[in-house]
Structure 1
């Protein structure tokens, strides 16, 4: 029997999990899963943020070198497609509303079936002509979410608990079935950190300032007591989400699924809660708080439970790991995979599957770690040129690349510009694009630190003290150059980064 579950929780801070040595945040069910799993200690994001990370997972390739936030491309041969072609059914239960807005096309539709739970963030669930006015509060206020949250009363009404409930129902309906992948994806603990106020009691929250549940992206701009409050809100939301993860684990207990099911738990990225004087993500360097993420893999029958694996891994490895689990040869995928299966690592057959992890946001610093050192490589030119985005689907977060967001359409070229596919794509110059969401912008701006930074990842895990060592930097540059080649980077990136 072959079954697999991918449990993806958005914005899980590894440094908040007791499975990774944290204290003070209750996650008993993720602890319970860790006891049944191989726990990976050197696991990294790839493309950032949300939708780029998901394209990585569903294609087994790093995408951030080629384009920004966007849909599944017509030349992508996705994990659900390959599984379907080889007789494996796939279903996704999710409240991640980005899948269903402009710029998130064709992700869920690759699965055999899907269930979308409504109401997160700016999902247009509650429809009112007259929009609510901003009350007295600090942080972001979004009228659409103010309407959505009127639907949330008890814990069970919130979207992520309903997502887990949807997955539980699917498991019950298919308890006699085999040969399937269930992808369970909850938006929480992504912001807004909204939950019943009673959930904060366990964290001794005594905040009495203006309501604050949705941080703004950028430098910290709220008082210290608000920072303490928002950290407690995040912790409480993580605990509430963990409680619903427990219900999924309970269902595996009832159905005896631990014996025949592979379960992968990870996140897309972390979240800054005042570290380095930043909030959120996107607009600061790709610090460890954002890019060093959790990974637990339960093997059928509990083989290698409790094993700690220090080898470098990334989320692009989800694809080939699942292919191996289902006995599907990687040659069935039409696209070259960048990822490597974790199963040989878990079984102890190999000690490493890569010599570095490459990660970042499109058009910003490109980052590489060998586990000991981390190197942030910035643009070598003040105007961040040359940078082009390559796509056959000209949409991005919340908008099309139409006349409103392209300065000069005559500068767009089309042709087989990517090294790994002959499919024609648009080649859009970066300085020809105007992004609607500036937190996603790849133009240099005052809030993003554009400089090369080198850190010792062990002695200075918090990345507070950049080091200056020309020999080590040369070695990391060489590693970065090889990683760009291995990941089919467009030539633009070498020039932009001053590497060629």
Structure 2
């Protein structure tokens, strides 16, 4: 069996039609859902980009971020943002040792910085340059009029620098095929032409879209906003409070993000069609998910902020399409997470799950069977904040237990009303029995 893992960065669960959205246009992900087991309660165990990917490759939890060493040359320092530890095994290395042809095709520049090592175990890794802050082209070559158009008055200096680098990097772009999601999936389709002659293969497609900057071709944004819009574009949100935005800017920002989602969905669909036309779909396990979502001013925040742990940041799509149709069109409310991907892949290609991996093999759920181990609750972390949830409540707090927020999921699934005051017993129980237990008995460190 071949394996394809597709990671769509910053894709919110509530922006997939098949997962309950009535206005978003994601026909290809919707079609995938009809052929897959869909997880209705899927969450990353660690946020953001790099910690999440570490758990995907190692099958091991990255949170609670102990022994974190800031990486030289980085400008973004959330806890856990570091290379795969040398003592941890990668699923890619295990598959390569067993004769799989392994390939990574991505435009996620963070994995290829000199201090990182996410290419471990890959026979081929194709890094598409130019996303976001990638120092690929001289920033001085940026068209300042375009920088002005792609920012708004409230953008901070960091976001303006991001846009300026992005504008410099994309000056050569002429049409939709030159955008990043199309480039990633086009390269992936080209790889399939070779891979079908050297099966089995393990292909990771890591698309940075729909991560900001959000600048999809106009036809996609026009699906969600006035085609005659002529204002400045909030392509990159500040990571913080959303009070820098006007109501119209919020509306436009959400339309840009939705357009980016739909563009990414279109090219993902083209990839799936190519997989089918090459007669590979019936012999390939396909897993599609995201590393986290993004805040679009729903709770007073934009971007990714560690204390802003609400559904828009934590709830992700997670699909497993089995080539034999196992679980097709079904849903599971098991707490699935990114560190479950490696054990699941290994089990489905008849290889033992490495003893180091702490994630679960999700394959019993494909047949409607119970999991190997029940997960009555789930914990996750982002920098200096941690969260725990069960069927009734979600607790969000600083990792040492301070500044708790508590939400009753039975009455408040969107987590709008904090009920921590007056429910100190629930807060203490969830912190002690969930967060402390999963963190090994000691509070997660505050760096």
TM-score, normalised to structure 2, is 0.88
Question: Residue 88 in 1 paired to residue 100 in 2?
Answer: yes
Question: Residue 281 in 1 paired to residue 278 in 2?
Answer: no
| Aligned-partner SS, 1:302 | coil
- Residue aligning to 1:113: 124
- Residue aligning to 1:473: 427
Superposition deviation, residue 93 in structure 1:
0.6
Higher mean Cα deviation, 280-289 or 224-233?
280-289
- Preserved contact between residue 259 and residue 302 of structure 1 (Cα < 8 Å): no
In the superposition, relative to structure 1, how do residues 131 and 304 fare at CA in structure 2: closer, same or farther (>3 Å)? closer
1:17-49 deviation digits (Å, cap 9, x = unpaired):
111111111000000100110111011111111
Q: How far apart, CA to CA, are the structure 2 residues paired with 1:180 and 1:151?
A: 33
- Residue aligning to 2:12: 13
Higher mean Cα deviation, 37-46 or 343-352?
343-352
1:213 to 235, 239, 263: 235
Superposition deviation, residue 316 in structure 1:
0.6
Q: Kindly report which structure 2 residues correspond to 1:356-375, keeping only aligned pairs within 5 A, or say none.
A: 356-362=377-383, 364-375=384-395
Q: How far apart, CA to CA, are the structure 1 residues paired with 2:43 and 2:299?
A: 20
- Residue aligning to 2:367: 347
- Preserved contact between residue 95 and residue 118 of structure 1 (Cα < 8 Å): yes
Q: How far apart, CA to CA, are the structure 2 residues paired with 1:83 and 1:22?
A: 37
Query: Which segments of 5 or more consecutive residues in structure 2 lack a partner in the other structure?
Result: 69-78
Higher mean Cα deviation, 82-91 or 337-346?
82-91
- Residue aligning to 1:414: none
Superposition deviation, residue 129 in structure 1:
5.4
In the superposition, relative to structure 1, how do residues 377 and 132 fare at CA in structure 2: closer, same or farther (>3 Å)? same
2:168 to 135, 147, 171: 147
Q: How far apart, CA to CA, are the structure 2 residues paired with 1:150 and 1:190?
A: 19
Question: Residue 196 in 1 paired to residue 221 in 2?
Answer: no
Q: How far apart, CA to CA, are the structure 1 residues paired with 2:331 and 2:30?
A: 14
Question: Residue 456 in 1 paired to residue 401 in 2?
Answer: no
Superposition deviation, residue 297 in structure 1:
0.5
In the superposition, relative to structure 1, how do residues 60 and 371 fare at CA in structure 2: closer, same or farther (>3 Å)? farther
- Preserved contact between residue 60 and residue 319 of structure 1 (Cα < 8 Å): yes
What is the number of residues matched between the two proteins?
418
- Preserved contact between residue 313 and residue 357 of structure 1 (Cα < 8 Å): no
Query: Which segments of 5 or more consecutive residues in structure 1 lack a partner in the other structure?
Result: 382-449
Superposition deviation, residue 54 in structure 1:
0.3
- Preserved contact between residue 160 and residue 186 of structure 1 (Cα < 8 Å): yes
Q: How far apart, CA to CA, are the structure 1 residues paired with 2:199 and 2:374?
A: 30
| Aligned-partner SS, 1:146 | helix
1:43-65 deviation digits (Å, cap 9, x = unpaired):
11111110110001111112131
Q: How far apart, CA to CA, are the structure 2 residues paired with 1:167 and 1:330?
A: 27
| Aligned-partner SS, 2:131 | coil
Superposition deviation, residue 365 in structure 1:
1.7
Higher mean Cα deviation, 223-232 or 80-89?
80-89
- Preserved contact between residue 153 and residue 196 of structure 1 (Cα < 8 Å): no
- Residue aligning to 2:258: 235
Superposition deviation, residue 159 in structure 1:
1.6
In the superposition, relative to structure 1, how do residues 316 and 199 fare at CA in structure 2: closer, same or farther (>3 Å)? same
Q: How far apart, CA to CA, are the structure 1 residues paired with 2:139 and 2:310?
A: 40
Superposition deviation, residue 112 in structure 1:
1.8
1:126-157 deviation digits (Å, cap 9, x = unpaired):
23656654536413322221211212221100
Superposition deviation, residue 79 in structure 1:
1.1
- Preserved contact between residue 436 and residue 443 of structure 2 (Cα < 8 Å): no
Deviant stretches of 4+, over 6 Å: none
1:246-278 deviation digits (Å, cap 9, x = unpaired):
111101221233322110000000000011011
In the superposition, relative to structure 1, how do residues 177 and 147 fare at CA in structure 2: closer, same or farther (>3 Å)? same
